[in-house]
Every structure is written in structure tokens, then in C-alpha cells.
């Protein structure tokens, strides 16, 4: 009887030890090594990078009417890339645009002339966006195709008054120009050397008005941004050089001026306005500027 009981006890002990061994094999042994992975560790979830914040707000520009084509194209391209931004352009003329920037009535002023020393001294900063030729324009019916700088100066100061004196028909020359404060007028008069000496018959407030007036008068002569010239008028050669993007770029066309962005020193632009400024002055905008007919700075 005792022998049977001992045998049964031995069997129970053997079965118990076997069960413990099986559990030990299934569960990894605990360790004090901090580098060892925990038995219950699961792979860390992958983090999704935060999406960039969408730009929003407004960008207001004010100034040169000659810059309408290029600034309009740049504004459209910027809004297309940033649907949350509204871009505005107020074509008031360079002088008014400079004043608007100075008084904080716009984010960026637009000028088709370099800033004067007194304007810089007042705290304004200029950044050249592009270079534009100033075309001397006549009516398509006018037979004159080429004028020298000296002839243009003599025409606008009244020394030459008849088209026949420069190879045209016998007709009185009608002088058309821009209003005082215009960047185009300032650039034209300074380059030609006729500052404050022009005897205008008509002084008009926009590039479009000058072009329209010359287009309607066979005896008129005017000047306008090369980028704005239409086939309703004819741009004459100056000193034998055709006004074009190529001749402005290589410097052979004499009557050219800068297109300038005007900001106030020490005054930070809004996030949207700064992003626009950075875009238009970057290589990314060069193709848009060129397509608008001017030369990127």
C-alpha cells in the first residue's frame, strides 16, 4: 500500500515540474537590461507630419500705371498658388504710390522711377523688380520710323515743331505726355535731358490715355511703357535701336528705367505681403515678369 502511495506522489511531482517547464518556455525571462525590449512592447505608431498652414489675408499695392501688366500678372500667379490671399492693385501713378507706402495706406508702393534722395531719407526703401523701356510712340500713319535722342529732346522743347523737319509729312507736331509726378514722365525727361522743359499740348494721367490719344491723332507723339504698347500705335527706333526686351536687357536701347517696389524701412509687412514680396523678387517669378514684356532685375 505504501509502495502505491509513493508511486502516485512521484507521478504528481513529475507532472507538476513538466507543466512549469512548459510555461517557462512560453514566457521570456525577465531581465534587468534596460536595452532589452519588453515582452509586451508594440511598434510605435508612425507620426503624420503636420500640414503647412495655408496663407491667408490681403496684399495691397498702389502706384505706377506703367506697372499694371507685370504687377497684375504677378498678383494672379500668387493668388493661384495661395487661394486664401486677395491681391489688389490701385493704378494711381508713381508719386501717389510712393506717398501711399509712406503713409501706410498700402503694403507695397509701385514706382516706375528710382526713389529720390529725400524720399529715401524719409524712411522709404526701394527694391528694383524689373527694367522697362520707355517707347516713343507715334500714330501708325506717321512715316517717321527713327529719331535720335537729340531730335526727341528738340521736339519736346519746341525747337522742332513740324514733322517735315525729321523726315515726316508737313504737319505740326502735337506733344502728348504724362502728368507731373508720373514715373514714366520723370524717367523720360531725365533720360532725354528735358526735365521741366517740355511744352506739352496734353498731359494725361495714365499710360493707357497716352496710347489712346496718340492712336487717334496722326500728328501726335507720346511716350509709354514698352510693356504697355499696343498695335494701335507705332514705337519708333531711338538712335537706330528698336525698343524691345532684348535691347533693354543688353542696354543698347537708351530710354529705359527701373520698376521699383517701395516699402517703409523698419515697418514689417504682413505675413501675406511678405510672402508676395519674397515671391516676386525670387527666381520663381522671372518667367512671369519676362512674359509681361519687361526684364527681371
pLDDT tens by residue, 159-206: 999 999 999 999 999 999 999 989 999 999 999 999 999 999 999 999
Based on the fold, state whether residues 112 and 222 are members of the same structural domain.
no
| pTM for the model | 0.72
Count CB neighbours of 102 within 10 A.
16
Residue 284, in any domain of the structure = yes
Based on the fold, state whether residues 123 and 138 are members of the same structural domain.
no
Residue 3, in any domain of the structure = no
Residue 51, in any domain of the structure = no
- Those residues whose C-beta lies under 8 Å from the C-beta of residue 66, and which sit 6 or more positions away, are 112, 132, 183, 184, 207, 224, 225, 227, 228, 259
* CA 131/CA 31 separation, integer angstroms: 74
Q: How many domains does the chain have?
A: 2
**CB contact at 8 A, 130 and 212:** no
Residue 8, in any domain of the structure = no
Structural domain that includes position 67:
57-131+257-296
Residue 47, in any domain of the structure = no
Based on the fold, state whether residues 123 and 261 are members of the same structural domain.
yes
* CA 233/CA 215 separation, integer angstroms: 5
Based on the fold, state whether residues 126 and 268 are members of the same structural domain.
yes
Average pLDDT of the residues of the chain: 87
Based on the fold, state whether residues 137 and 237 are members of the same structural domain.
yes
Which CATH number characterizes residue 61's domain?
A: 3.40.190.10
- Say what the pLDDT of residue 44 is: 52
What pLDDT digit, counting tens, does each position of 12-32 carry?
Answer: 443 444 444 444 444 444 444
Enumerate the H helices of the chain as residue ranges. Answer: 2-26, 68-81, 94-103, 117-121, 149-156, 183-192, 207-216, 245-249, 271-280, 286-291
* CA 89/CA 76 separation, integer angstroms: 11
- Say what the pLDDT of residue 53 is: 65
Based on the fold, state whether residues 212 and 243 are members of the same structural domain.
yes
Above 50 in pLDDT, residue 270? Answer: yes
Based on the fold, state whether residues 111 and 151 are members of the same structural domain.
no
In the chain, % of residues over pLDDT 70 = 82
Please report, in angstroms and rounded to a whole number, the separation of the first and last CA atoms in the chain: 113
Based on the fold, state whether residues 168 and 272 are members of the same structural domain.
no
Based on the fold, state whether residues 83 and 120 are members of the same structural domain.
yes
* CA 109/CA 102 separation, integer angstroms: 8
Residue 12, in any domain of the structure = no
Based on the fold, state whether residues 154 and 186 are members of the same structural domain.
yes
Based on the fold, state whether residues 85 and 119 are members of the same structural domain.
yes
Which of the listed residues 222, 237, 254 is the one where a domain comes to its end? 254
Residue 177, in any domain of the structure = yes
Above 70 in pLDDT, residue 219? Answer: yes
Based on the fold, state whether residues 67 and 202 are members of the same structural domain.
no
Amino acid at each position: 500500500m505504501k509502495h502505491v502511495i509513493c508511486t502516485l506522489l512521484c507521478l504528481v511531482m513529475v507532472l507538476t515540474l513538466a507543466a512549469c517547464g512548459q510555461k517557462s518556455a512560453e514566457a521570456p525571462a525577465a531581465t534587468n537590461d534596460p536595452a532589452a525590449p519588453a515582452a509586451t512592447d508594440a511598434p510605435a505608431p508612425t507620426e503624420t507630419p503636420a500640414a503647412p498652414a495655408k496663407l491667408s489675408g490681403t496684399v495691397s499695392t498702389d502706384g505706377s500705371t506703367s506697372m499694371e501688366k507685370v504687377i497684375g500678372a504677378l498678383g494672379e500667379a500668387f493668388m493661384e498658388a495661395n487661394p486664401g490671399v486677395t491681391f489688389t492693385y490701385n493704378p494711381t501713378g508713381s508719386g501717389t504710390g510712393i506717398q501711399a507706402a509712406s503713409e501706410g495706406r498700402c503694403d507695397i508702393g509701385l514706382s516706375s522711377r528710382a526713389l529720390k534722395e529725400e524720399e529715401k531719407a524719409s524712411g522709404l526703401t526701394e527694391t528694383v523688380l524689373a527694367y522697362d523701356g520707355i517707347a516713343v510712340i507715334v500714330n501708325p500713319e506717321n512715316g517717321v520710323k527713327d529719331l535720335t535722342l537729340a531730335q526727341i529732346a528738340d521736339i519736346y522743347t519746341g525747337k522742332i515743331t513740324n514733322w517735315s523737319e525729321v523726315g515726316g509729312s508737313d504737319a505740326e507736331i502735337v506733344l502728348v505726355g504724362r502728368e507731373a509726378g508720373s514715373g514714366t514722365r520723370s524717367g523720360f525727361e531725365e533720360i532725354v535731358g528735358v526735365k521741366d522743359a517740355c511744352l506739352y499740348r496734353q498731359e494725361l494721367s495714365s499710360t493707357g490715355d497716352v496710347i489712346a490719344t496718340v492712336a487717334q491723332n496722326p500728328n501726335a507723339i507720346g511716350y509709354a511703357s514698352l510693356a504697355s504698347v499696343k498695335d494701335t500705335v507705332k514705337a519708333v527706333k531711338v538712335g537706330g535701336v528698336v525698343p524691345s526686351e532684348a535691347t533693354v536687357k543688353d542696354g543698347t536701347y537708351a530710354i529705359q528705367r527701373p520698376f521699383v517696389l517701395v516699402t517703409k524701412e523698419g515697418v514689417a509687412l504682413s505675413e501675406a505681403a511678405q510672402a508676395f514680396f519674397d515671391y516676386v523678387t525670387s527666381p520663381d517669378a522671372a518667367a512671369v515678369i519676362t512674359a509681361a514684356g519687361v526684364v527681371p532685375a
